[in-house]
Each structure stands twice: as C-alpha cells, then as structure tokens.
Amino acid sequence: MKKSILLSWTAAAALAVGLAGPADAEIKIGSTLAVTGGASFLGDPEARTLKMLVDEVNAAGGVNGEKLELVQYDDGGDPNKARTFATRLVEDDEVVAVIGGSTTGATMAMIPVFEEAKIPFISLAGAVVIIDPVKKWVFKTPHTDRMACGKIFEDIRKRGLSKVGLISGSGGFGKSMRQQCLDVAGSAGVEIVADETYGPDDADMTPQLTKIKNAAGVQAILNADFGQGPAIVTRNVRQLGIALPLYQSHGVASKSFIELAGEAAEGVRLPASALLVADKLPDSDPQKAVVVGYKAAYEKATGEPVSTFGGHAYDAFQMLVAAMKKAGSSEPAAVRDAIEQTRGFMGTAGVVNMSATDHLGLDLTAFRMLEIRKGDWTLVE
C-alpha cells in the first residue's frame, strides 16, 4: 500500500520535472503579456512588436556589443499568473529588465516583485495608479486614462458642448477610466448627466443607451472601454438613431474597431497617438519618421494592421535600449537611473521626458484627436 502510493507519487511528480533551466545569453530582457485571453488584442501586438525589435537589434549587433535575449510569457491577463511569471523572470531567468503587464491588474500584481528584486519594469497598461504615486523601479509608456478623459472633454468643450452621457465597460479598463473621467469632469467644465455600465461579454447595450438618450440635456456620449463592447455600443447608438456626437477611448485605437462597427463608426471621435494617422501627418511633424518607420516595419513583419498597443511596446523597448546604451551597461540599477533620465525621447505616443517625479513623461499634446471618416482615421484640426 505505502510502496505503491510512493511509486504513483513519483510517477506524478515526474510530470512536474522539466521546469528546465534556460539557456545562457548575454542580456536577458523579460516580458509577460496578455498574449491570450480577453486582453489579447493588447498583448498580442505587444508581444509581436518585442520579438520583431529584438531580432532587429540583434541583427544590428546588439546593445553595447552584447546580444539581447527575450524571455516572454503569456499571463492571459490574469494577475495571479502574472505574479508567478514575474517571480520566474526575476529568480529563474535572471532578467535585467522587464517590459509588460498588458493590463493594470497584472501590472499592479507584479510591482512588489520588481520593487523587491530591484529590476526596472516598464508597464504597458493604462491606469494612472501604476505611476501615481511614483514607484522607484516602475515606469509606463501608454497615456493614462486620466489624460484620455482630459483630451476628450477638451474637444467636447471646443464644440461648445458640456453635458455628457457616460457609458463604460465594467472591466478594469472601463472602470478605471470611468472613475478618472468623473474626477476630472468638474475641472474640465463638463457635467456627467448619465452614468451607465455594461459587462465585458454583453451583446446589446440598447437599454443603457436608451436611458442616456432620455437623460435631460445630454449633448454627447462617451464610451470608456476596449474590446468588443465599444463596437457594439457604436452599432447600438446607430440602431437607436441617436444623433449625438460619440466619443470612444484610446482603448479602441486599432483598425479592427472600424471594421467591427462598420458604417456606425462614421463620425466617432477618439484620442489616440499619431501612429494611426502616420501617413497623413505633415512631413514637418517631428513624430512622422518614428511612427511611419514602426508602422511599416510592424505591418511587414506581421502582415497585420498596426495598433497603438504594439506602439506602447515599441516605446518601452526603445527607451530601455537607449537607457542601456546611455548607461553603458545592462546592470539593473544603472539602467533604471538612465530610464529615469530619458529626455526628449520621440516615441509612438509622443515626446517623453521622464523625471524622478514623473515615470510616464508624456503630456496631453502627444494625444491627437481623431475622427473616423469614410472608414479611416483622420486628424481633427
């Protein structure tokens, strides 16, 4: 009895073996992203971008004479998995820096690991809590949801409107952006006259939109979410014949939103980086070279249209490489200091000026207001 239990245990335990040690490399960069799962439309282009860039850098001889190795995991957007992979990156893979965390939940779960291990960490998630308050080893590249709210409200005020009906997804992104929009509405001179939500898998939002339509004095609708929700909301707005201006967030900044929402997307506005309108930028625009270059490289390497999400990974990677070059080493503490000293870096999201008190380094000017016309992005002047 006892013997056979022991034997079967050994057999079962044998399955667990194979957590084999990784091969040696020069400079190891870690990454854990939501390559699958509900946030995969963020994590997938991010992962592809990193792979592409590492190959590119290695083909050009690496950094400081050393080749890069990318250790990449798929956390599916699950914070608990992300936490485990963070530990694995630090303890087992012994990486010198980490890019990733596609979602805010996964990012927040990983922060204690990197703070304790003293490894620089550049997050690709949206919420402002990641860098406010500032954490010594944590940076991020995407605009915050707070900035998106500010940009949208600015545009609404420019149109002479002020009463906004808010409809947000109940996932992390929508919930966080909803809170930020409620917070900044007052100072932006905007009044939120309706506040509705829907679940991440919902297929019809006409009840919520009917309520917004009937809200007293509503002049514009703002939808804070990413994924399938915004496409359905946009279609539902058209179905109900609501003629108010519709604003989406930076979370829908990929071509697939236009495809999914179809004709209903006409006239929808959203704040996004210049990446989506790379070809339409005037040649005098200082950002043009960067965004056109990345767009062309990404679309050639993957055969898929570029999205701003991959751009976040591009910015993070380029900043990291620049920091390593500047520090002349890949030693984590030196790299961290160099990232914090990033000044005038031109990325897909805009010009980055980091400091000890600002681990994002972007301002509102980097955000462009886009409008969808004839199935394509156009710049709102």
Partner 1 sequence: MSELLQFTFSGLTVGAVYALVALGFTIIYNASGVVNFAQGEFVMLGGMITVFAHAAGAPLPAAAALAVVATAAIGILLNKLAIERARGASVVTLIIITIGASIFLRGAAQLGFDKQLHRFPSFSGDDPIAIAGATILPQSLWMLFGAAVVFAALYLFFTRSLTGKAVLATANNKLAAQLVGIDTDFVMALSFGLSAAIGALAGVLATPITLTSYDAGTALALKGFAAAMLGGMGNPFGALVGGLLVGLIEATTAGYLSSDYKDAAAFVVILAVLFAMPQGLFGKSAQERV
Partner 2 sequence: MRPLFAKPISAKQATLLVLLLLIAVAPAFFPSNFYYRVGTLIFINGLAVTGLVVLIGYAGQISLGHAGFAGLGAYACALGPVHLGLPPALSLVLGAVLSGLLAWLVGRPILRLKGHYLAIATLGFGVLVSMVLANEAWLTGGPDGMAVADLGLRGLLKSAGIKVGNAELWYWLAGLILLAGAWLALNLKDSPSGRALRSLHDSEVAARTVGVDVARYKLSAFVISAVYASVSGSLLALTNRFVTPDIANFLHSIELVTMTVLGGAGTVIGAATGALLLTALPQVLTALQEYEHIVFGLIMMLVMIFLPDGLLPSLHRLLRRRVS
Residue 210 within binding range of partner 1, rule CB under 8 A: yes
Q: Which of 207, 286, 328, 375 binds partner 1 (CB under 8 A)?
A: 207
Residue 241 within binding range of partner 1, rule CB under 8 A: yes
List the x/- string, 238-277, binding to partner 2 by CB under 8 A: ----------------------------------------
Contact 41, 227 (CB under 8 A): yes
Per-residue three-class SS string for the chain: CHHHHHHHHHHHHHHHCCCCCCCCCCEEEEEEECCCCCCHHHHHHHHHHHHHHHHHHHHCCCECCECEEEEEEECCCCHHHHHHHHHHHHHHCCCCEEEECCCHHHHHHHHHHHHHHCCCEEECCCCHHHCCCCCCCEEECCCCHHHHHHHHHHHHHHCCCCEEEEEEECCHHHHHHHHHHHHHHHHHCCEEEEEEEECCCCCCCHHHHHHHHCCCCCCEEEEECCCHHHHHHHHHHHHCCCCCCEEECHHHCEHHHHHHHHHHHCCCEEEECHHHHHHHCCCCCCCHHHHHHHHHHHHHHHCCCCEHHHHHHHHHHHHHHHHHHHHCCCCHHHHHHHHHCCCCEEECCEEECCECCECCCCCHHHCEEEEEECCEEEECC
Buried b (16+ CB within 10 A) or exposed e, 61-84: ebbeeeebbbbbbbbbbbbebbbb
Cα–Cα distance for residue pair 122/211, rounded to 1 Å = 40
Residue 116 within binding range of partner 1, rule CB under 8 A: no
Residue 44 within binding range of partner 1, rule CB under 8 A: yes
Residue 3 within binding range of partner 2, rule CB under 8 A: yes
CB of 296 to partner 2, least distance (A): 25
Stretch that binds partner 2, among 1-9, 285-293, 294-302, 327-335 (CB under 8 A): 1-9
Residue 84 within binding range of partner 1, rule CB under 8 A: no
Instruction: Scan residues 176-215 and list those touching partner 2 (CB under 8 A).
Output: 176, 179
Instruction: Scan residues 214-233 and list those touching partner 1 (CB under 8 A).
Output: 214, 227-228, 231-232
Residue 199 within binding range of partner 1, rule CB under 8 A: yes
Q: Which of 52, 68, 108, 181 binds partner 2 (CB under 8 A)?
A: 108
Residue 259 within binding range of partner 1, rule CB under 8 A: yes
State which residue, 111 or 122, has the beta carbon closest to partner 2: 111
Residue 15 within binding range of partner 2, rule CB under 8 A: yes
Residue 170 within binding range of partner 2, rule CB under 8 A: yes
Cα–Cα distance for residue pair 250/266, rounded to 1 Å = 17
Instruction: Scan residues 32-91 and list those touching partner 2 (CB under 8 A).
Output: 36, 73-74, 78-81, 83-84, 87-88, 90-91
State which residue, 64 or 170, has the beta carbon closest to partner 1: 170
**What tokens were used for 295?**
């767009």
Residue 378 within binding range of partner 2, rule CB under 8 A: no
Residue 144 within binding range of partner 2, rule CB under 8 A: no
State which residue, 124 or 352, has the beta carbon closest to partner 2: 124
CB of 323 to partner 2, least distance (A): 26
Query: What is the binding site for partner 2 (CB under 8 A)?
Result: 1-9, 11-13, 15-16, 18-21, 36, 73-74, 78-81, 83-84, 87-88, 90-92, 104-105, 108-109, 111-112, 116, 127, 129, 170-172, 175-176, 179
Query: What is the binding site for partner 1 (CB under 8 A)?
Result: 35-38, 40-41, 44, 170, 196-204, 206-208, 210-211, 214, 227-228, 231-232, 235, 238-241, 256, 259-260, 262-264
